[in-house]
Amino acid sequence: MKMLTRDGVSLTYEEAGSGGPPMVFVPGGSCEWWSFHEQLTHFSRNRRCLSLNLRGHGESDKPQQEYTMAGYADDVAWVIDQLGLDRPIVVGHSMGGAIALQLAAEHPDVARAIVLVDPAPVTDNRAGFEHMLAAIAKHGAESTRRRLFKNFFLDGYDEALLEEICRRAAQTPDHVFISEIGDLRIWNGAEAARKCHVPALHIAAARPACPPAALEDVLPHVVTGQTVGAGHFNMLEVPEQVNSMIEHFLRQYVS
């Protein structure tokens, strides 16, 4: 595990491979670098790859502060600059997809392209996240997160995989989880999408968290694919499908 320190906050990441264009993987809320370990292994065969622990997650520091999509995007841009990465492809899952979109909007020269792996809703996001905050208030953060993650899977899911995801997510403190959910509730994803001009791929799950038509309304140039037989954590459930879609996207749309 490697580490950079930004204004006294340690930000950690796993790195593998060499060559370019590089890739940077941004996990979702409460998740850590391991969410993309299948992609890190696959793509590092011929390019430099990083999978991040956002602040508040994994082995990164977890200060008492607000956790916002804009703040996360600033951290990702800072890491990319510090490591001298030449316009990487930024791949985000769930909340990480929102961060990738925010990065492309507010730091337009940083990413070469973005890949949104079943991203958080970009439009009409208020009601769902308000419901989640109400569940946290009633049942607690850990119980709500476990229920949420279980609901992300299809019938016949891999129970061991769910347990591993939940075990790792438990490292994320309540104050981080609640803050980032609160920010997603008010995040203006439509505005970020309209400001995104780099090539973009949307890899939806069987039950998409972000409806493809809604995303296409605000991000008309997005390329959309959908995995078969996998839920929200499709990059872990069917990595061969996700990896193949990314490879074809890079070959066809990203110079």
Closest CA to 251 of 212, 203, 201, 180: 201
Question: Which residues have CB under 8 Å from 33's CB, separation 6+?
Answer: 12, 13, 14, 25, 27, 40, 51, 52, 53, 58
Q: For residues 100 and 92, give the distance between their C-alpha atoms in angstroms, rounded to a whole number.
A: 6
Q: What confidence score (pLDDT) does residue 215 get?
A: 97
CA neighbours within 13 Å on the CB side: how many for 236? 25
Give pLDDT < 70 ranges for the chain. none
Q: What confidence score (pLDDT) does residue 125 get?
A: 81
CA distances for 145 relative to 2, 55, 93, 126, 170, angstroms: 28, 18, 16, 18, 9
Q: What confidence score (pLDDT) does residue 201 get?
A: 98
Q: What is the pTM of this model?
A: 0.97
Q: What confidence score (pLDDT) does residue 255 get?
A: 73
Q: What confidence score (pLDDT) does residue 9 get?
A: 98
Would you say the C-alpha torsion 207, 208, 209, 211 has a positive or negative sign? negative
